[in-house]
Every structure is written in structure tokens, then in C-alpha cells.
Amino acid sequence: MNILVFGSKGLVGSSIARRFNSSSNYNVIESSREDTDLFSLSETSKKINASNPDIVIIAAAKVGGIYANNTQRFSFIIENLKISMNIFESLINFPHIKIVNIGSSCIYPLTAKSPISEESLMTGKLEPTNSPYSMAKLSSLEIAKTMKEQFGHKILNIMPTNLYGPNDRFEEFNSHVIPGLIYKMHKGKIGKFDEVEIWGSGAPLREFMHVDDLSSAIEFLIETNSSHELLNIGSNESISIKELAKLIKKVVNYEGELSFNSSYPDGNPKKLLDSSKLNSLGWQSSISLEEGIK
């Protein structure tokens, strides 16, 4: 089968490409901003027509951590909306192509009961620091729903928990929490800093999953021909940011102290996904947090 992966150079897309390239059952067509401008409807349509895919996986997105989401709010909603709109509109005349739309757990309300089930969707207000990104991802779900209803497309929307792994963005201001902490600890170790500052109080509880577990779940769902429209994908384990920082400090072997700066926002105090629907189908995550960080 031909699988077209949009966003194939990023954290998620590169893992998906590695996973399916390792199987002789699939011909993977990798696409990134180097070959296709997803802000252009004509370029997006041209890529899909030329690739003749059986499956399209949408892994392209503008992503970042809490700081980036909160300081680039306009860019996060506009760019992610454009990507979703152009890909879905380009696929209107191809109802035979299966679409895997990768969203984010931030689509769920701030007050959703933890662990958060798929039924919590649209039941409350969003977490304010990343609401523009969340709104863009929610819009992609509504677009997918209307495409299925009006044109008969088969679309699987998957909502992964917080992801980390190879090809992530390792920097101070625009990264997600794990690569950001690895960057800081590494910099502190090399520079022999007495102290590394961690943004926030360290109290929030988060669930993390290695990106290769996400790719494993996507392969599982494609091969089992899942008919679900929306599925959570998580590790079923939570850890506080403080304990996560201590774990990364241990793995990196940074010997200085950790300082938590509460003037930075914490975001959602607790976020853990309910992945029981997916687990009941026979899939479980397999990479432990410490193993994944190493």
C-alpha cells in the first residue's frame, strides 16, 4: 500500500516513516516542507495526485511547548488551520483514501475528569495557554467529521498524549518539556552550572509517551482496519514535572541543583488520557519513560 506521510521530517512524521519503511507491506512517500508547501492548496493537491496514496497520514503541524504556544498564539492557530484545510480539501474527491489525522490531547477541556476519555470532547473550556493550537486541532476534527458525513471518507482521528523522541526540537524557548529539560541539563553539565532553572512550580502531573510507541499504535490500527473515529493513545502513566526533571538530571548526569521558577505558568495541573478503548483492541505502549529518555 502507498502511504503518504505529511510532515515526515518532524518528531512524529519521521518516526512513522521509519516504522512503515521497515515493513515490506508498505511503500512510504515522505513529504515535508522541502517538497510541498502545505499553506498552498494547489501544491498540496499536486502532491496528493502525484503520490496516488492508499493512506494519508497527517503528521504536519506547527508545534511547540507552553512558552511557544502562549507567545505565538496567532501563528499557532493560523498555520495549523491552513495545513488541515488544504490537506482535507485536496482529498475531497478521493473517498477511497484512508486518512489518519493526528491531533493532540490539548483538545480536551481544562476541567475534564482525569483520566480524560474521548467522550470529554467539547464539554468545557480549553486550557488558555495553548487554546489557539487546540482550536485549530478541534477544527480539523470537525472538518474530518463533515467529510465523512458528506463524502463518505474513512478518517481515523488519533489523540496522542505528550510525545518525545528523536528529531524533537531541543532548545530553551520553543521546545516541549522533555527535550527542553534535556537541553537545559546538557547545557548545565557541559558548562558546569551550579543550578538549572525549571519553568513553573514542578507540581503539574503529565503523561508522556515515546513517539515510536505512537507509530506502533498507528501501524496496529491500520493493520486491524480500525473503524473508530476518535481514539486516545497514551502510556497510562503520569509523573510530576519535578520528578521528571529529577529523572532527566539522573540520565544526563547533571550534578548541579534544580530551581523551579513559579513565575512561569504551569498550564493544566493534571493531564492523563484514558486509553482504554485502544488498549481493549489489543495495543499497549512498551517503552518506559526512563528507557525512552535514555
Q: Which residues contact 147 (CB under 8 A, 6 or more apart)?
A: 88, 91, 92, 153, 155
Secondary element (H or E) of residue 75: helix 73-90
Q: For residues 172 and 245, give the distance between their C-alpha atoms in angstroms, rounded to a whole number.
A: 14
Q: Is 193 exposed, middle or buried (0-12, 13-18, 19+ CB in 10 A)?
A: middle
In the residue annotation, 133 being an active-site residue is answered as: yes
Which residues does 42 contact at the CB level (< 8 Å), separation at least 6? none
Inter-CA distances, 126 with 6, 19, 69, 121, 136, Å = 27, 33, 13, 10, 12
Amino acid making up residue 230: L
Q: How far apart are CA 91 and CA 97, in angstroms?
A: 8
For 108, the 3-state DSSP assignment is coil
Catalytic residue, candidates 108, 133, 164, 183: 133
Beta bridge partners of 29: 4
Q: What residues are labeled active site?
A: 133
